Structure 1
Amino acid sequence: MSSDSPPHYDARIVIYTRQGCHCCESAEAIVRKFVSDITLVDIDSDSELTQKFNTSVPVVEINGKVRFRGKVSPMLLERTLKAEARQVAGPAS
């Protein structure tokens, strides 16, 4: 049986957002197609994060590394998640 849904990946995802941000909502929807466990952080709840990411949201962090700012490309996201999965798995035997 074939499925058109993309595979899910096991990765630590943090999306830095702010309320009322349409781009942030779009980024979350795209990421949720590939990863179910996502942490959302409202940058306006922390002055340091507001200063760091003010005009860059959404910011998507994958396994501790910032990978996207502003817009998330589904194709690039999937490639990044695949590469992260290979790094975690280690070299093939």
Structure 2
Amino acid sequence: MSDRHAVTLLTRAGCGLCVTALEQLRSICADFGIEPGTVDVDQAAATDPGLRAEFGDRLPVVLLDGKEHSYFDVDEKRLRADLTR
């Protein structure tokens, strides 16, 4: 299908919801030939403290093409629709 979209999960170590979200993203993205990336906001804070400041209290956060798509839960229906565009 298309690899023009980038899907990234903002996460942190020890986040159970993040593990579940990544599993969901891998399943969804596989249908589109995309491998979702991950960014640990605590590790990224060394070079980008704004990332943790903006998203750190509501992880996991799904980014589609660098923009917030959903948080806490993966909005599968919406993500699939957006990945077809």
Corresponding residue for 2:38? Answer: 40
- CA separation of 1:9/1:72 partners in 2, compared to 1, >3 Å: closer, same or farther? farther
The ranges of structure 1 where at least 4 consecutive aligned residues each deviate by more than 4 angstroms after the TM superposition are none
Q: Is the contact made by 1:58 and 1:71 (CA closer than 8 Å) also made in structure 2?
A: yes
Question: Normalized against structure 2, the TM-score is what?
Answer: 0.76
Point out which structure has higher relative CO (alpha carbons under 8 A, 6+ apart): 2
Question: Normalized against structure 1, the TM-score is what?
Answer: 0.70
Q: How many residues align?
A: 76
User: How many angstroms does 1:76 deviate by?
Assistant: 2.1
Give structure 1 stretches of 5+ with no counterpart: 1-7, 86-93
Corresponding residue for 1:27? Answer: 21
Q: Which has the larger Rg?
A: 1
Aligned-pair Cα RMSD in Å: 1.7
Corresponding residue for 2:75? Answer: 73
CA distance in 2, matches of 1:63, 1:76: 14
Query: In the alignment, residue 24 of structure 2 is paired with which amino acid?
Result: I
Per-residue deviation, residues 15-67 of structure 1 (Å, max 9, x unmatched): 11011111111111111112242211000111322211121111111112210
